[in-house]
Structure 1
Amino acid sequence: MGPAEAKNKCIDNSDGTCSVEYIAPVPGEYTIGICYGKDDDKQHIPGSFEKKLLPYESHGSPFRVIADMPKDPSRVAGPDSRPRDCVLKEGAVPKQYELRWPTDMAGNYTADIFINGEKVDPPVTVFAKKSGHKNDVKLTGELKIL
């Protein structure tokens, strides 16, 4: 018991003991008790109730990764010619790609698509309704076959 529900994990050490990991999501005083037995007949292990003042610790250790990743230069311009943030990712089928962006207004969106650094000609024009549901989108133009 404590200021928030804490996740815990119990590991059987196969020697009659167990190790318990208790992860508190917020700082505060927690009462920790360990039980054994089946759900309908749980019993507390004598002496297992313990009050602990747990400081907040984030899950995991902070670290920094430096990576040289190529930026996807694909771009989408909306009906107002303003650029939209977009994400190009490979689909489930080889040589199939998805380009996703928010459709905040109805109209034609023009996408300049780059795959592996190579521009796919010509730009693709897509008409989308404001909702952005896939059934509300119509593709016009041709795509280069890879």
Structure 2
Amino acid sequence: MNANESAAAEACLSHFRITETPPALRLSPTCSLEELFEFLLCDAIVMRAYAHPSIVEMYASYLVADELWVLMEYMECGALTDIISHSKLNEEQIATICLPVLTALAYLHDHGVIHRDVKSDSVLVSAKGIVKLSDFGFCAKVMHSVLQALTWGLSVHS
């Protein structure tokens, strides 16, 4: 069984098919229920509420005993952290990775959401080289005027 770890949870390849490709099943870590819901519920809500080609898609979530199970899009190559720890990327590859991440962040900012935890562990890659942003547990919703002040009105266009 393939598994990708993030700061929040472990994602395992599920045999339950919702789409053409098998989804990942993200299991909550062992922590208090309060911590679990504060982090993973935010993660699931953002994935569900903000559909974008560069944001990992969530299919469903289930509360099983004291664990939150999130059925989400499976990104076969895992986190960017794993990729960069085994190979050196050139400037063109870095730009190719940055563009979808920045467009996802711009999309979230346009909707008043800030990620607050962007790192290589939060960037997932598919076998086809598709790059998507994940790990939304530390996201915050802010008022538009505050967001403009924080980002200095910058925008990213693809």
The alignment's TM-score, normalised by the length of structure 1, stands at 0.22
Task: Report the structure, 1 or 2, having the larger strand content.
Answer: 1
Rg larger in structure:
1
The alignment's TM-score, normalised by the length of structure 2, stands at 0.20
Larger RCO: 1 or 2 (CA < 8 Å, sep 6+): 2
